[in-house]
Amino acid sequence: MMQESGTETKSNDSVIQNGAGPDNHLLECTLRESRSNGETPLEVGAVELAHLQQQQALQAARQLLINQQPFSGIKANKRNDKHPSLQVPVSVAMMTPQVITPQQMQQILQQQVLTPQQLQVLLQQQQALMLQQQQLQEFYKKQQEQLQLQLLQQQHAGKQPKEQQQQQQVATQQLAFQQQLLQMQQLQQQHLLTLQRQGLLSIQPGQPTLPLQSLAQGMIPAELQQLWKEVTGSHTADDVVCNNHSTLDLSTTCVSSTAQPKTSLLLNSQASTNGQASVLTLKRESSSHEEYTHNHPLYGHGVCKWPGCETICEDFPSFLKHLNSEHALDDRSTAQCRVQMQVVQQLELQLSKDKERLQAMMSHLHVKSTEPKASPQPQLCTTFGRENGWICYSQQLEEGITGILKGLNLVSSATLSKTASEASPQSLPHTPTTPTAPLTPITQGPSVITTTSIHNVGPIRRRYSDKYNIPISSDPMISVDFLSLPDFAQNQEFYKNAEVRPPFTYASLIRQGILESPEKQLTLNEIYNWFTRQFAYFRRNAATWKNAVRHNLSLHKCFVRVENVKGAVWTVDEMEFQKRRPQKISGSPTLIKNIQTSHAYCSPLSAALQASMAENSLPLYTTASMGNPALNSLANAIREDLNGVMEHTSSNGSDSSPGRSPMQGMHQVHVKEEPLDHDDNDGPLSLVTTANHSPDFDRDRDYEDEPVNDDME
């Protein structure tokens, strides 16, 4: 086959020389001179090239017409009886003269390096090339029609002995035409190279190569397919191989520039290599072809790799024979080729999808991996899902909430931007960095604790806002309210399994544990058990946190020790609990400021926002359901909650809890008249009322129904 191919190339060369004659030589010489002279002035080069190309096209047409004369009585090939149209084995790419695409023209115009004269020359050239293209296409169509007529005549004549000879003549003619077109394309490539050198055209590295680009842009895929169908026809054995390649080339080069060396399409392939290899000799083509024959994509390990074939071929010539005989251009092969095209397209589609998926994964992981860097505080334990969810959540909230709050005229744009910026993943929950704290995060259960975060453990004690970095108010009430989220079961599951310190104060946790109990009272041991049961974090260093629990129980007046029949139990004095952070909240800018800055370890999001999220079961800590906050409901919730805050604040302006945070106001649901015997409770009996029906309403109502122990202290 190598020899055959070489012979083919050689014969083609001779055909070209014989056919093209002096014109071709003149053309090549002109080009050589132009190249040898280095930079060719644009005005001269472009005009000359256009002129030469036109001349060459006409010459090719003349040649073909001349060669076509003896074929008046040609007969169709037997193999191609089903394809009565004898067609020229030429790539469609070769049929398309190089035309500067609109994009390239736009590029040129954008570069603004052309003088009006240059532009005019380019336009003229462009028009000439387009005209040339049209002429060629018309000529090609005419040729096809004539060949079809000839085939029909041959079918009636039925002279078999002359068939093969005539077919070879047809092939020779086709090859001549093909070579003409190839040279034309070369010239066009040269022209473009010249333009490139002169800086008139800049071809991006990733940009499809110009011939293919122009081809793809010059013809729509349907046209390409049609031409391809027309091109495929009866040929000699070598032509079959070439045609197979050209077939593949047609289907692949339009989408990919990774053209392999192909026999009759070498120039086309080379022309597609960024225009750098367009000036290659036939010798190199032959060598490339030689390599190609040994790396035939349809031949390997002595087996024909044609889809569904797998015929054993001892050597490459036998494979070629097999290929030509069994996989000639017929309906079956064409159909198989189409199927293969579809397979490739499907694979490419799948590949693109997988690439997108991979990109998304990588970007996601990249964001995650870079997140701790964005945070000045070391992050100890964070979970993948939480971070991910928080990212989605923060991104959506930044947009949605900003608009919502703006609509509510509650926060200025500046503060919103600050809030949004602070609502970055930096606000991810942090675990404590206290040296004495149980800082050995163990990946228990489903939690995914990053090693990097583990390594970021610092000995510096930090405030909750830094340690936990979680969008939760420092207000214990708010903390508990988060704990009381309807979807807190997911959070509970998380903290049950992940040895992550819960971002709540001891007081909040104790209160929550007490409130979760059926009788709203727990013994110290039951509180311990609740801690260890609910939080994996508190299954270590019991002495430390138990001491802290005891300390908090004793320290905070909100925790009331009640002597029961069973012994001492601890209850929660909600009033005292609410008093713990006296802050003025009103409809004044103070509220806004509080909403913005929140409290000690408040999130960047406002407390009202957190409340809204709580009310809407916006899973801040959930691992699975994050990232899908219903912003509409969130907007309503924010509006309602903020209104509730306002109402509550205004209605309770003289309340004994002036420092109640929005959450406090919103989630205080019970009407409780209870004698408080605390020493510092020098105020009147508190009457906390609210119309807000929070998820805690039932529990608080239950709590309200709980008998008040008059024996409290």
Q: Where does residue 436 rank: exposed (0-12), middle (13-18), buried (19+ CB within 10 A)?
A: exposed
Smallest gap from residue 556 Cβ to DNA (A): 7
* Site for DNA, residues 416 to 445, rule: CB under 7 A: 432, 434-437
82's tokens: 């089903």
Among 289, 599, 648, 667, binds DNA (CB under 7 A): 599
Among 581, 648, 667, 670, binds DNA (CB under 7 A): 581
Ramachandran angles phi, psi of 561, nearest 5°: -90, 125
Smallest gap from residue 374 Cβ to DNA (A): 16
Q: In terms of CB distance, is 173 or 606 closer to DNA?
A: 606
The site that binds DNA (CB under 7 A) totals a number of residues, namely: 48
Q: In terms of CB distance, is 282 or 442 closer to DNA?
A: 442
Among 144, 172, 465, 657, binds DNA (CB under 7 A): 465
Smallest gap from residue 650 Cβ to DNA (A): 21
Residue 470 CA to residue 428 CA, distance in Å, equals: 5
Does residue number 179 form part of the binding site for DNA (CB under 7 A)? no
- Establish how many alpha carbons lie within 13 A of residue 408's alpha carbon, considering only the half-sphere containing its beta carbon: 23
Residue 483 CA to residue 475 CA, distance in Å, equals: 12
Q: In terms of CB distance, is 177 or 535 closer to DNA?
A: 535
Smallest gap from residue 358 Cβ to DNA (A): 39
For residue 176, CA distances in Å to 12, 29, 80, 526, 633 come to 7, 19, 22, 97, 73
Q: In terms of CB distance, is 88 or 602 closer to DNA?
A: 602
Ramachandran angles phi, psi of 304, nearest 5°: -75, 125
* Site for DNA, residues 553 to 572, rule: CB under 7 A: 553-556, 561, 568, 570
Does residue number 507 form part of the binding site for DNA (CB under 7 A)? yes
Site mask, DNA, residues 510-549, x = CB under 7 A? Answer: -------------xxx--x------------x--xxxxx-
Q: In terms of CB distance, is 81 or 563 closer to DNA?
A: 563
Smallest gap from residue 504 Cβ to DNA (A): 7
Smallest gap from residue 678 Cβ to DNA (A): 12
Q: Which residues pair with 300 in a beta bridge?
A: 303
Say if CB 464 and CB 601 are below 8 A apart.
Answer: yes
Angle at 11 between CA 7 and CA 16, to 5 degrees: 150
Smallest gap from residue 648 Cβ to DNA (A): 20
Say if CB 270 and CB 280 are below 8 A apart.
Answer: yes
Does residue number 476 form part of the binding site for DNA (CB under 7 A)? yes
Residue 604 CA to residue 121 CA, distance in Å, equals: 63
Q: In terms of CB distance, is 48 or 516 closer to DNA?
A: 516
Piece in contact with DNA (CB under 7 A), picked from 113-121, 592-600, 609-617, 662-670: 592-600
367's tokens: 């964001």
Say if CB 517 and CB 534 are below 8 A apart.
Answer: no
> What DSSP string runs through 438-480?
-------TT----HHHHHT--S----HHHHT--S--SSHHHHH
Of 228, 461, 207, which is closest to residue 329 (Cα–Cα)?
228
Among 123, 312, 362, 600, binds DNA (CB under 7 A): 600
Smallest gap from residue 421 Cβ to DNA (A): 16
Smallest gap from residue 539 Cβ to DNA (A): 14
Smallest gap from residue 419 Cβ to DNA (A): 13
Say if CB 488 and CB 446 are below 8 A apart.
Answer: no
Among 412, 455, 463, 628, binds DNA (CB under 7 A): 463
Q: In terms of CB distance, is 84 or 658 closer to DNA?
A: 658
Smallest gap from residue 476 Cβ to DNA (A): 5
Ramachandran angles phi, psi of 303, nearest 5°: -130, 140
Say if CB 664 and CB 477 are below 8 A apart.
Answer: yes
Q: In terms of CB distance, is 214 or 505 closer to DNA?
A: 505
Of 703, 699, 701, which is closest to residue 485 (Cα–Cα)?
699
Query: Does residue 563 sit in helix, strand or coil?
Result: strand
What are the start-end ranges of the E strands in 45-87?
A: none
Question: Which residues of the shown chain bind DNA in the complex (CB under 7 A)?
Answer: 432, 434-437, 460-466, 474, 476, 504-507, 523-525, 528, 541, 544-548, 550-556, 561, 568, 570, 580-583, 597-602
